[in-house]
Amino acid sequence: MNSNFKIFLKGITDVSPLMIPVVPFGLIFGILSIDIGFSPLATMGMSLIIFGGASQIILLQLFSGGASSLVIISSVGAVNSRHLLYGAVVSEHVSDLKLIWKIIISYFLIDQAFAVSNEYFKKYKEKNKYFHLIGGGFTCWVVWQTTTFLGIILGAAIPEKLGLSFAIPLTFLAILVNDFRKFINVIVILVSGLVATLGFNYIPYKAYVIVAALTGLFAAMVLTKIIKKI
Amino acid sequence: MSDWALIIYCGLITYLTRFSMIALLKKEMFNDRTREILSYVPSAIFPAIIFPAIFLDSSGSLELTDNPKILAAIIATCVGIFSRSILATIFSGLASYWAIIFI
């Protein structure tokens, strides 16, 4: 059996390639947060307390659009509902662990760490394999905090007319690159995008994100069912 | 609500989505169908941010002509589909956006 530290290191090396896109993401977050008017401390606080790139950027987007706190919190919850899936998958590998480890692992259960550790968990049966997830999650944590910090510093120096807020849709677009090749995903993307765009002014309380996401999921439900029948 | 309260609530709900299944599940609780639908969450939620940010102007009205973001987003999407690279997608989009507005 490998030592805890060795598995932790393996987690770091496995997740490293996935850290490259996190760098611009973190910089953009830091820059925009300052731009919108959050203090440097609150910006750092978001990265430390929330520690979720997509949800933090959605928070900024909705906050700057004047959405209510309730809508912002529920949208953040909706964006993060994908973690329920990660948790469900990981839970079978960590069900025998003490509660304290489950609490620690949960903080590090982020997209990139889940992606690589899930592969590792499938291959290896060691009892201490969860150190892989902690290694990957910790790596991402360091990169995320550092780039947020650099973004805060850069934010003061970057001119507004560069139109960096356009980086928000671009980063989300980039997350979806693999989904553009799948038919059902493309339909879901179009349904959600159209509902959000057309409902932007008509859906009250800026709840367009949630309404569009639910409509998109409903489309996915219907489409997956129809395609199975064919 | 103060900024800090908002941040803490958002942090709590984020943490709960990560912790709840790990804490509650013993073995499998999600059936394959639920799992399948949950896998569409990214495709369902991110376009709700992407599309309005591209097609609407700052006042929230539809801006279909004379909008450099549309062309830049199309270029970024094509680059994304062919390269499958997150970095290439972001940078090609930003580069074409700057090329359109500054040249």
Per-residue pLDDT tens digits for A178-196? 889 899 999 999 999 999 9
Q: Which residue has the higher pLDDT, B28 or A115?
A: A115
Q: Which residue of A has its CA nearest to B81?
A: A177
Q: Which residue of B has its CA nearest to A95?
A: B26
Residues B62 and B32 in one domain: no
Residues B83 and B53 in one domain: yes
**How far is residue A93 from each of residues A23, A113, A190, B28, measured CA to CA in Å?**
30, 15, 36, 11
Q: Do A83 and B3 touch (CB under 8 A)?
A: no
Residues B14 and B52 in one domain: no
SS3 (DSSP) at B21: helix
Percent above pLDDT 70 for chain B: 95
Nearest CA among A193, A190, A212 for reference residue A203: A212
Spans in chain A with pLDDT lower than 50: none
What does the pLDDT read at residue A54? 86
Q: If you average pLDDT over every residue of chain B, what do you get?
A: 89
Residues B68 and B32 in one domain: no
Residues B50 and B24 in one domain: no
Longest dimension (CA), chain A: 59
What does the pLDDT read at residue B30? 67
What is the domain range of residue B11? 1-39
What does the pLDDT read at residue B37? 85
Record the tokens describing residue A5, joined without a space: 């530290």
Residues B5 and B34 in one domain: yes
Residues B56 and B71 in one domain: yes
Record the tokens describing residue A87, joined without a space: 């948790």
Nearest CA among A32, A200, A69, A212 for reference residue B58: A200
Confidence class for position B75, pLDDT limits 50, 70, 90: very high
Q: Which residue of A has its CA nearest to B84?
A: A177
ipTM of the complex in this document: 0.87
Whether A181 has its CB under 8 Å from any CB of chain B: the answer is: yes
Residues B96 and B49 in one domain: yes
Q: With 80 as the cut, is the pLDDT of residue B27 above it? A: no
**Residue A55 distance to chain B (closest CA, Å):** 8
Residues B56 and B102 in one domain: yes
Residues B31 and B78 in one domain: no
Domain boundaries, given as residue ranges, for chain A: 4-162, 176-230
Residues B24 and B69 in one domain: no
DSSP assignment string, A171-197: HHHHHTGGGGGSHHHHHHHHHHHHHHH
What does the pLDDT read at residue A166? 85
Considering only the beta carbons, identify the residue of A38, A102, A177 that sits closest to B3: A38
Average pLDDT for residues B44-59, to the nearest whole number? 89
| Number of domains chain B is built from | 2
**Predicted TM-score of the model (pTM):** 0.80
Distance CA A139, CA A153 (A): 22
What are the φ and ψ backbone dihedral angles of A20, each rounded to 5 degrees?
-55, -50
Nearest CA among A74, A155, A112 for reference residue B48: A74
SS3 (DSSP) at A58: helix
Average pLDDT for residues B19-42, to the nearest whole number? 80
What does the pLDDT read at residue A26? 92
